[in-house]
Amino acid sequence: MKIPISPSDLQAARERITGTIHRTPILHSTAIDEMVGASVYFKCENFQKVGAFKARGALNTVLSLPQKVARNGVATHSSGNHGQAVAWAAAQRGIKAFVVMPENAPEVKKKAVAGYGAKIILCESTLEGRERALEKVCKETGAHFIHPYNDDRVIAGQASCAAEFYEDQNLDALLVPVGGGGLLSGSLLTTDYAEKETDVYGCEPEMADDAFRSLRAGKIIPQTNPQTIADGLRTSLGDRTFPIIHTLVKDIITCSESEIMSAMRIIYERLKIVIEPSCAVPLASLLNGSIPKQYDRIGIIITGGNVDLNKLPFS
Amino acid sequence: MKIPISPSDLQAARERITGTIHRTPILHSTAIDEMVGASVYFKCENFQKVGAFKARGALNTVLSLPQKVARNGVATHSSGNHGQAVAWAAAQRGIKAFVVMPENAPEVKKKAVAGYGAKIILCESTLEGRERALEKVCKETGAHFIHPYNDDRVIAGQASCAAEFYEDQNLDALLVPVGGGGLLSGSLLTTDYAEKETDVYGCEPEMADDAFRSLRAGKIIPQTNPQTIADGLRTSLGDRTFPIIHTLVKDIITCSESEIMSAMRIIYERLKIVIEPSCAVPLASLLNGSIPKQYDRIGIIITGGNVDLNKLPFS
């Protein structure tokens, strides 16, 4: 396949966002190394602006808009990190943001989006309701829609995370959670263009294994009604992310819900960081033996830390 | 008063432990700065070896023992971070450690101590029971007792934390939680010997305000039966720490239990780190208005992250 995102796209994205996003730290734990039998490095995007890697792709997209487009603002629908990221990124450029959120979204999420100065448009909590509300706001305001992952500019922004990771640490394998596949696609492009020998894996809950099934089928198999605790990974691959993943990924591996919760506890106890359940999926996939034992230095991207503290799965 | 710990003691301690302890990172949050109205920097000792600053003092003491003393091992009584720190420090030197713990100590704490190769001696859960068991083990084995805070070598080790902090960040005020006063004493000595203009405050729960009362009375007033959630701060000052604190501290300030829990949530949500309740006391004392509004750059030492995840005060 011909990949429509070039090395210079990645380079331009990185230059656009560096200095505004955080260069996030890499953490490491002797105890986790012993459990795994290899050195494991965690790139902590939970410490990123808005508490998630999503700040990268949203900012790259907002900063790359022509002035004529940007002046009408940007819009998205999201009850999660992407909504905050678009709101934050728009504020960095000083343009308007419109975020469509379901009526039943948690107050804390609405507050966070409003805190960046975005306008919230409440909608019915269905895919149809969200899309209708988004279309309406874009039509009325002229705002430019930014998709959470199925967008080359977003993918190019997410790619900067792996680039930083490789600069700070040599890795034999890189494990990336996969939901819509924006971060995984970007990580794969960074790895390929830098001619790294690193094997890149996508990690996914068994209960939302559309990427696993899509890879094996050779076509997108959408996720229907996923029930996983890893709420950031319930989405399906898109037509911009699937071809990149299909061409470049080493494999997609999965783990169970109890493995996710157990890995989440290990990360809280050993790394002392607050993470969303989605971030625990790569470590769970490593501890359940799905990854071949051949790697000495393994990198994991910790994708975000915006978890509801009232609903932590520890008891 | 004549302070019995010299600048060269602090320097020697730092040289002894550097390279074995972690140089912990400093975190910062725009959202917290806005709440406080100043720049607040958090020195993250929850990322320290054994998950707490206690690794510093224990390691300095273990490494400074003459070979004749060290060969019989070291001993302490602790159900908390100091027990783990002594066990870990002894393992670094390759000597034995004996840790007296109450029978009803949580399994996870016993496991952590045993994991470093220390021998655990269970005792009745009373001060008398602990002291009797400790005396017995020291007599039988010749092990050298390391007090959690009332020991100049321990204080000199804890002093290294503030030294690193000042190297990385200029501060107008430094806020340190105070239980037995080892970390506060060490921080005060570092500040004074480096001739910093920084005002150093001790921060304490209202429900365990022995340092607050001792400072005002000009003598040690022991804590009786404290009930605070900040379990690391229930201890009383000792005769090695009180004189240093009395001479050098700017003030001791206090906060309520609900202020501690609220600040703890802010740190989890905004800094995305796992901390013990004790660590939230300085931010709570800052947010309740007890600290004068005159400081632009405020440092807080996050003392440890060994919290029982099953008992987090979020609901």
A170 with A112, same domain: the answer is no
pLDDT band at A108 (very low <50, low <70, confident <90, very high): confident
Say yes or no: B48 and B60 in one domain.
no
Find the mean pLDDT for residues B110-133. Answer: 93
* Least Cα separation, residue B180 to chain A (angstroms): 24
* A278 interface with B at CB cutoff 8 Å: no
Contacts of residue B81 in chain A, CB cutoff 8 Å?
none
Inform me whether the C-beta atom of residue A272 falls under 8 Å from chain B C-beta atoms: yes
Position B5 confidence tier, pLDDT thresholds 50, 70, 90: very high
Check CB contact under 8 Å for B272 and A51: yes
**Is residue B82 one of the residues assigned to a domain?**
yes
Task: Output the average pLDDT for chain A.
Answer: 96
Looking at residues A76-93, what average pLDDT do you find?
Answer: 95
Question: Which residue in the block uniquely carries the two structure tokens 């068994």?
Answer: A206
Assigned domain for A1 exists:
no
For B268, the closest chain A residue by CA position comes to: A274
Predicted local confidence at residue B105, as pLDDT: 85
CB neighbours of residue B179 within 10 Å: 30
In a mutational test of the B interface, the residue from A272, A306, A309 whose CB has the highest number of chain B CBs within 10 Å is A272
Q: Are residues A27 and A66 in the same domain?
A: no
Residues B296 and B169 occupy one common structural domain: yes
Burial letters for A266-304: b for 16+ Cβ neighbours within 10 Å, e otherwise? bbbbbbbbbbbbbbbbbbbbbbbebbeeebeebbbbbbb
Given a cut of 90, whether residue A1 has pLDDT beyond it is no
CB-based contacts of A112, cutoff 8 Å, min separation 6:
A50, A84, A87, A306
Q: Which of A56-65, A102-111, A172-181 has the lowest mean pLDDT?
A: A102-111
- Confirm whether A186 is domain-assigned: yes
**What's the rounded mean pLDDT across residues A99-124?**
92
Average the pLDDT over A264-287 and give the result: 97
pLDDT higher than 80, residue A121: yes
| Same domain assignment for residues A180 and A116 | no
- A211 and A293 share a domain? yes
Average pLDDT (A42-47) is 98
Residue A273, in any domain of the structure: yes
Mean pLDDT of A51-70: 98
- In chain B, which residue's Cα lies nearest the Cα of A115? B31
> Which of B34, B53, B272 best tests the A interface by mutation, with the highest count of A CBs <10 A?
B272
Instruction: Give the mean pLDDT of A12-26.
Output: 97
User: Does B310 sit within 8 Å of A47, measured CB to CB?
Assistant: no
Rounded distance, CA B255 to CA B277, Å?
A: 12
User: Mind telling me how many Å the CA of B109 is from chain A's nearest CA?
Assistant: 12
In this structure, is the dihedral angle defined by the CA atoms of residues B286, B287, B293 and B297, taken in order, positive or negative?
A: positive
pLDDT at position A184 over 90: yes
Q: Where a domain ends, among A145, A165, A193?
A: A145
Q: Are strands B26-28 and B39-44 parallel, antiparallel or unpaired?
A: antiparallel
Position B163 scores a pLDDT of: 98
Interface contact flag, B312 A315, Cβ < 8 Å = no
Q: Residue A223 maps to which CATH number?
A: 3.40.50.1100
Last residue of a domain, one of B115, B145, B175: B145
**What confidence tens digit (pLDDT) does each residue in A210-246 have?**
999 999 999 999 988 899 999 999 999 999 999 999 9
Examine residue A41 and state whether it is found in any structural domain, yes or no. yes
**A117 lies within 8 A of chain B by CB:** no
Given B145, B161, B189, which residue is the final one in a domain?
Answer: B145
Same domain? B244 vs B284: yes
B70-84 mean pLDDT: 94
Pick from A47, A310, A314: CB nearest B310: A314
One domain for residues B211 and B306: yes
Paired tokens of A186: 């970007």
The per-residue pLDDT for A249 is 98
B3 or B19: which leads in pLDDT: B19
Lowest mean pLDDT segment, chosen from A33-37, A107-111, A116-120, B252-256: A107-111
Q: Count CB atoms within 10 A of the CB of residue B52.
A: 28
Q: Give the residue numbers spanning the domain of B177.
A: 7-53+151-311
pLDDT-derived band at A98 (thresholds 50, 70, 90) equals very high
What's the mean pLDDT in B119-128? 92
| B192 and B75 in a common domain | no
Q: Flag whether the pTM goes above 0.90.
A: yes
The C-alpha of B169 sits at a distance from chain A's nearest C-alpha, in angstroms, of 17
Q: How confident is the model at residue B196 (pLDDT cuts 50, 70, 90)?
A: very high
A193 plus A290 within the same structural domain: yes
Report if residue B215 sits inside a domain.
Answer: yes
> Over 80: is that where the pLDDT of A315 sits?
no
pLDDT confidence of residue A289: 95
Residues on chain A touching B26 (C-beta within 8 angstroms) = none
Work out the percent of chain B whose per-residue pLDDT is above 90. Answer: 92
Residue B1 lies inside a defined structural domain of this protein:
no
A248 sits in the region (left: phi over 0; alpha: psi -120 to 50; else beta) called: alpha
| SS3 at position B172 | coil
Tokens of B212: 């607050």
Task: Indicate the number of domains in chain A.
Answer: 2
* Phi, psi for B241 (deg, rounded to 5): -95, -35
A59 and A69 fall within a common domain: yes
Whole-number pLDDT of residue B1: 67
Whether residue B137 is predicted with pLDDT greater than 90 in this model: the reply is yes
Maximum CA extent, chain B: 57
Whether B299 and B177 map to the same domain: the answer is yes
Question: What's the CA gap between B186 and A41, in Å, rounded?
Answer: 33
Distance from CA of B47 to the nearest CA of A (A): 7
